[in-house]
């Protein structure tokens, strides 16, 4: 009984962890950044700009020192250098050359691309996570060896995790927009 319960809980944790690939981090209690409606053109602009921004990041690191960046977020280093006016100008120049209006827009696009990518990599548009969580809840409900109070706690925990996942779910069409570019986005995700 205890082994099955652990397996169910671990499966739920891994199901959530599997969709959480590099993405901008958000402090606890803070709203998630808004996602944008992606088009193939926006995805291509992000992909095309990324190597140039990465190279600029290396130059800026030599100029300003190492940026405090999230190792799980391939975009955070660039955003950290934007605090320097000259660096921000150089970043904006690359971003606008790729048809993106500003660094802030680029960051929202990057966030949206990486989330859509994570769901696309997971398959089923994230639906498999929903079905895995629902199955885990049914197993908990059906296990007569788990006390009722413990069942309620486990189910409440899974429901909270499902709610968190639903906030991350990309808008309709975003997964389809990134799908033709999965290999290129994977290369970006694996740069850190």
Supply the pLDDT for residue 11. 36
| pLDDT tens profile 15-64 | 334 333 333 343 334 466 789 999 999 999 999 999 999 999 999 999 98
Least confident of 2-11, 129-138, 157-166: 2-11
pLDDT band, very low/low/confident/very high, at 12 (cuts 50, 70, 90): very low
- pLDDT > 70: percent of the chain: 78
Residue ranges per structural domain of the chain:
35-123+171-189
pLDDT for 153 beyond 60:
yes
| pLDDT tens profile 97-107 | 999 999 999 99
CA angle 102, 119, 171 (to 5 degrees): 55
């Amino acid at each position: 009984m205890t082994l099955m319960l652990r397996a169910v809980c671990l499966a739920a944790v891994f199901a959530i962890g599997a969709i959480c690939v590099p993405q901008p981090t958000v402090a606890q209690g803070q709203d998630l950044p808004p996602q944008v409606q992606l088009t193939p053109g926006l995805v291509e602009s992000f992909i095309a700009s990324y190597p140039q921004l990465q190279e600029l990041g290396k130059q800026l690191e030599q100029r300003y020192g190492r940026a405090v960046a999230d190792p799980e977020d391939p975009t955070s280093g660039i955003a950290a250098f934007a605090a320097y006016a000259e660096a921000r100008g150089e970043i904006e120049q690359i971003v606008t050359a790729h048809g993106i209006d500003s660094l802030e827009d680029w960051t929202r696009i990057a966030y949206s691309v990486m989330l859509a990518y994570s769901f696309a990599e997971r398959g089923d548009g994230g639906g498999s996570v929903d079905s895995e969580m629902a199955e885990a809840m049914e197993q908990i409900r059906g296990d007569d060896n788990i006390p009722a109070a413990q069942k309620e706690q486990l189910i409440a925990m899974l429901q909270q995790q499902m709610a968190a996942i639903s906030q991350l779910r990309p808008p309709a069409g975003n997964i389809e927009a990134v799908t033709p570019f999965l290999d290129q986005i994977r290369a970006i995700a694996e740069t850190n």
